[in-house]
Structure 1
């Protein structure tokens, strides 16, 4: 049955369960595909150690992103990300997603970690696919699907298209962050931010937070293992809440004590409020060309989205 723009389609009585099953099946299929992609990439990725940061896991590789000056890479890729977010149509979002995927392939990132991050985002973004079609304001020209079981709610196809565009842009930005942060040491990337005018104190806080959040996660994991060895099992009762409260309190105390030890160790090594500069930045003609190429590519993406799609 063809549905003309601006019309209202009344669904058959049994179409609502079928639609729910199709959406659920599509979500399960997407999860399985992401898990399969992560399993295929597992052989090429080292086993993750939660006590060691992994955001810059591909820093030792060799690609055009690895050889790119960090300062120009930050400006170029962040500008491209803003241009991607500025697209309005679903076709523009899908084009941005394709560009981000090409960049991730060129950077030779670990697809196992990429699949995990995208899978974590998918659970949150899936809510848009259900909520926005049901809550989008009806405008002239919208196509509505009415289910007899819930006639008060109309499924707006324009809302579904808008939700898909948001999901596409979110995945595109997430993919683009992989070549930005994974292809250079995090300390070098943050030092590049400082060279661009970001206060050094902000870079220090980000670096320390990223480093020691993994240490605290590893501490929490070891404490949890110790509790399980002693017979603790999570149950829906007051005793479990009391034990978990003690667990969080001990984790906070241990984190606070570790913070003092880390500060004393840094002062013993001569820390006076600034980290020593380790990276030597040397801008070349190729760095300027890559940065200009990102800006031109982002501008072309927005113009195509506005004038064509």
Structure 2
């Protein structure tokens, strides 16, 4: 295909181009994990309480924003960001999300941990798409000297970068969405927007008791280590792990029954009381218009880039 621009690189330069960004990404992820682990060790005794999603400070516009407007607006804005197809508008969406983090006074460490959770998935795009994108007229393809069948398409790289930037923008936006209001209030807002009330109750109870069951598993694992248990590749280890999982299931089921009986004793009849009285103000609608205008501007800029 004569219109395709081929740039021949030595094998070591091609390998460096392909592996260096992944190595930097892996090093950053490992450093962040080490930092989080070091902070948890400095705290001394483990905190067995359920970590709250909402931050203590509530003086920002995101904290004062009506939860129904905030949910609907940021979800619609996320769909607008997902429709972007070019790199520059996607990077602009990341900048908007970072600005939202600053305005909401969200924790940078928690935002980075949220990005870390999707790092492996996004790294796959950065590797697979440039190597698998078919060459079109006008594309620039990097090839290894003597290996013409394997090419690194820069158009595929730009597409992968756009997908990565969009995913990062949406993931960062979830931090001010979820941490600027208590979880019961957020789920109450979803219910008011038409989500099933039982689904909100299940999410709330799951968030509470997943941490409880995790702490229970950690206590059981500590007890096994104190009694001399060490993981090995033998039948005894498999039997011990199977007993561990069975006991964890039994204890979780028994705790669930006790919790449900306690809820019924306190008057639970299939519905939780409303945590707050929601009141919409004119300022909430102004914020809705501002965010949707920003999303429309990004989509319009993306269409101009095309």
What is the TM-score of this pair, normalised by structure 2? 0.90
Q: Distance in 2 between matches of 1:177 and 1:282?
A: 23
Q: How far did residue 197 of structure 1 move?
A: 1.4
CA distance in 2, matches of 1:179, 1:40: 25
In the alignment, the residues of structure 1 paired with residue 77 and residue 84 of structure 2 have an alpha-carbon distance, to the nearest angstrom, of 11
Structure 2 matches for 1:1-309, cutoff 5 A? 6-31=4-29, 34=32, 49=47, 51-56=49-54, 58-148=55-145, 150-308=147-305
- Report SS of the residue matched to 1:66: helix
The 1:234–1:33 alpha-carbon spacing in structure 2 relative to 1, beyond 3 Å, is: closer
TM-score for both structures, normalised by structure 1: 0.89
The alpha-carbon distance between structure 1 residues 182 and 50, as it changes in their structure 2 partners (threshold 3 A), is farther
**Paired residues of 1:12 and 1:147 also in contact (CA < 8 A):** yes
- Distance in 2, matches of 1:39 and 1:64, equals 32
Cα 1:152–1:48, aligned 2, differ >3 Å: closer, same or farther? farther
Q: What secondary structure sits across from 1:105 in the alignment?
A: helix
Q: State how far apart, in whole Å, the 1-side matches of 2:11 and 2:305 are.
A: 39
1:201-260: CA deviations, max 9, x gaps?
111111111111111111111112112222222233333333222222221111111111
Q: Are the equivalent residues in 1 in contact too, given 2:22–2:123 (CA < 8 A)?
A: no
User: In the TM superposition, what is the alpha-carbon distance from 1:308 to its structure 2 partner?
Assistant: 3.4
**Residues 51, 218 of structure 1: 8 Å contact kept:** no
Change (3 A) 1:290 1:219: same
Tell me: CA distance 1:53–1:38, structure 2 relative to 1, closer, same or farther (3 Å): closer
SS at match of 2:59: coil
CA 1:306/1:198 → structure 2, altered by over 3 Å: closer, same or farther? same
CA contact (8 A) 2:84 2:90 kept: yes
SS in 1 for 2:62: coil
Structure 1 residues 5 and 99, CA gap change in structure 2 (3 angstroms)? farther
Structure 2 segments unaligned to the other structure (5+ residues): none
